[in-house]
Chain A
Amino acid sequence: MRGKAARSAQALAAAARRRRRLEAALPWLVTAWMFLLWEAAVRLFGIEPFILPAPSAIAESMIKWWQPLLTNSWATLLTTFVGFAMAVVFGLLLGVAIGSSVLVYRGLYPLLIAFNSVPKVAVVPILVIWFGAGFWPAALTAFLISFFPIVVNVATGIATVEPELRDVLRALGARPVDIVTKVGLPRAMPYFFASLKVAITVAFVGSIISETVAANEGIGHLMLVASSRFDVPLVFAGLIVTGIMGVLMYWVAVTIEDRTTGWATRGQNDPRLAAGG
């Protein structure tokens, strides 16, 4: 009896391991399949490379142009990162202000919404007039496009502190600053990191938009030059490199999130923690 039970437990554990392995491999498998289908479709229907190049042609182009791809994506990464860092600082500060003061909320929120509705492509020429073509318009566009989700999330986290907890602290003589630092900010952290995942990806959108309008380097600039020469495989190579950078930055954000706000997901995978009493 016991041997049987032990064996079935082993089988269960093995099944769980297989499932975890499958889950880890799944993104790679799906991506590989997508490229295979793409390749097959292009060959099967004889699509011209300047309409839709096959993945093999894109890979060829990547190998051929690896150096400009690398330097330009490095430039884009740098601009995006600078804009994103500014968005984090500014978004946190504004989010705290809006979340903790009804007056600031009422005064600024409509303006923020209006600002966020403005297409950022329309802002780039103005930034170019102010700062000249190059690094700053791109970094600032990344900043402008990515600070909004951070503000909204941080403000929500701080504004939704339980009224009872607020009462407990106020009855102890806590000042509003105490409530924000002891409760509001830590409570807003999961919201903040969730917004970072959105913000970092849209920051790439911002800097690349700006690079395609006015810049001398960056992956957006590279794609613009490539398309003007009808080098469509290189344009696609630029797109794929951008996607890879986005996934990498997203992964960094998720890793930081897991390390800092594990309490919010409450260790769901740890059976030790299910005990009560």
Chain B
Amino acid sequence: MTEPFVHIDRVSMRYGGVEGTLALRDASLAVGEGEFVAVVGPSGCGKSTLMRLVTGLWPPTEGTVVVNGREVTGPLSIAGMAFQNPTLLPWRRILPNVMLPLEVVRPHRGQLRAQRAQYERKARDLLKMVGLEGFEDRYPWQLSGGMQQRASLCRALVHDPRLLMLDEPFGALDVFTREDLWDVLQSVWMAKKPTVILVTHDLKEAVYLADRVLIMSARPGRIIAERRVPYPRPRRLDQTYEAEFQAIVHELRDRIAEARKGETADAR
């Protein structure tokens, strides 16, 4: 692998001063450009902390975070984010919601007024890609949870971010909607090829979507193992019922169970 696009090098993160909680300890990971990586682990292991470190929202207590060859010292503007909660703005219709990043990110914010039509077409294309054509003029509360999450995904992608950070984006959805959205995400990723870091607790989701699954230990979290997923793209949902796929999911499960055992041992 050449120079990784995202490189976290022995990073520790502690909240609330010297005596505070240690969320991450000596965590290291490298993600190549255009790679799709999933991070799984027991709950409370610092997965979301990892997200905030990579996007520069919080500075690490120790260690360095390098993205795109530069050390991260403040918020990146090449990142798009989506969370479990769609966090759409209820006073905006779907199209302006999706276009929100364009009003903020440089250089788009300066060009938005002059090239409005062009940007709007781009947002509409994205909405079409995730199956929201015809809903551009609705308000978020007129959409179901799954549709809101689709729109949230569009908002994360509209400024063509080179890095897409997803923090359990499908966690609050029912199984069928979630599986629909896996395919939506897969096709968007194949079309645009951003680097993706997906934090999830759904192992099936991790294996289905990612090139590589990273496993975190219990708190204080660090990456303890990784598993490459060999399937070519596009992957199909019926593959998830095949024995080989199930075997990978089981293997990950066992690793996480071990990690959790370590947690109870620590507690004693």
Contacts and interface: CB of A to CB of B under 8 A. Distances in A.
B25 interface: no
A171 B165 contact: yes
B91 A276 contact: no
Contacts of B104: 169, 172-174, 178, 182
Contact of A173 (B76, B89, B142, B143): B76
B144 A172 contact: no
Contacts, number: 78
A263 B52 CA distance: 31
Interface residues of A, number: 25
B208 to A, nearest CB: 23
B110 interface: no
A99 to B, nearest CB: 17
Contact of A171 (B56, B85, B106): B56
B150 to A, nearest CB: 10
A178 to B, nearest CB: 5
Nearest to B103: A182
A183 interface: yes
B15 to A, nearest CB: 14
Given A167-B81, A186-B89, A266 B141 contact: yes
Contact of A172 (B101, B141, B143): B101
Nearest to B142: A273
B145 to A, nearest CB: 8
Interface string B97-108: 000110111100
Interface string A164-200: 1101111111100010001100110100000000000
A273 B57 CA distance: 37
Given A162-B85, A168-B81, A182 B75 contact: no
A277 interface: yes
Given A173-B106, A174-B104, A168 B144 contact: no
Contacts of B245: none
B144 A276 contact: yes
Contacts of A261: 91
B147 A170 contact: no
A162 to B, nearest CB: 6
**Max chain A Cβ within 10 angstroms of own Cβ: one of B75, B91, B139:** B91
Given A167-B57, A261-B91, A172 B159 contact: yes
**Max chain A Cβ within 10 angstroms of own Cβ: one of B90, B141, B146:** B90
A164 B85 contact: yes
B100 A275 contact: no
A267 to B, nearest CB: 8
B91 A171 contact: no
Nearest to A171: B55
Given A182-B100, A273-B142, A263 B79 contact: no
**Max chain B Cβ within 10 angstroms of own Cβ: one of A171, A186, A187:** A171
B75 A170 contact: yes
Interface in B140-166: 141-144, 146-147, 155-156, 159, 165
Contacts of B75: 170-173
A266 B91 CA distance: 10
Interface string B107-144: 00000000000000000000000000000000101111
A37 B155 CA distance: 61
Interface string B12-41: 000000000000000000000000000000
Nearest to A175: B104
A167 B52 contact: yes
B61 interface: no
B170 interface: no
A168 B100 CA distance: 10
A252 interface: no
B87 interface: yes
A172 B87 CA distance: 15
Given A171-B165, A178-B104, A266-B141, A162 B159 contact: no
B91 A186 contact: yes
Nearest to B87: A165
B77 interface: yes
B83 interface: yes
B108 to A, nearest CB: 10
A276 to B, nearest CB: 4
A264 interface: yes
A184 B89 CA distance: 11
Interface string A237-259: 00000000000000000000000
Nearest to B132: A277
Given A171-B81, A172-B104, A173-B105, A277 B52 contact: no
Contact of A275 (B55, B79, B142, B159): B142
9 contacts: A171-B56, A171-B57, A171-B80, A171-B81, A172-B77, A173-B106, A186-B89, A187-B89, A277-B146
In the A-B complex, list the 5 residue pairs whose CB atoms are closest, starting with the nearest.
Answer: A173-B77, A276-B144, A171-B55, A165-B87, A263-B91
